[in-house]
Amino acid sequence: MPVPSASPCQLLRHVLDDNLDAALDAGLMDYMPQPADARLDPRHPDLPQLLEQAQQHLRAAWAARERHQARTARLARRAAEREARRAPPPAANSKPALPSAAAAILARAKAKARSE
């Protein structure tokens, strides 16, 4: 779990450099805006908003990835179920047994054919 050891200015620098991995490692998702943060960097009075936007974008991306993974798993499961329904039943090594009534009729017919 990342330890929030970076200052908001360091987090912003990572975000502006598009180094989101470093920002995450430095504790970006744990960042909570403070009233004084807007004055930490005179060049970026919107520092709290920028960091919150980065957090929102990451959360949205992670949610989209989860939805995509769930959809992929759901489609794979449906395809497997569809294939299982289409597949013929496993073939037995021997001929299927006739019902007893049919076997008796066949035996009588064979016996009659031999006697004639």
DSSP 54-73: HHHHHHHHHHHHHHHHHHHH
Q: What is the pLDDT of residues 2-53, one digit of tens each?
A: 455 789 999 999 999 999 999 999 999 999 999 899 899 889 999 999 999 9
- Name the average pLDDT for the chain: 88
Name the helix (H) or strand (E) containing 23: helix 20-25
Mean pLDDT of 59-64: 97
Q: Is the distance from CB of 75 to CB of 40 less than 8 angstroms? A: no
16 dihedral zone (left: phi>0; alpha: psi -120 to 50; beta): alpha
Q: What pLDDT, on the 0 to 100 scale, is given for residue 64? A: 98
CA distance linking residue 107 with residue 85, whole number of Å = 36
Answer whether residue 103 shows pLDDT above 90: no
Q: What pLDDT, on the 0 to 100 scale, is given for residue 116? A: 73
CA distance linking residue 98 with residue 60, whole number of Å = 62
Residue 27 neighbours by CB under 8 Å, 6+ apart? 2, 3, 4, 5, 6, 11
Mean pLDDT of 92-115: 80
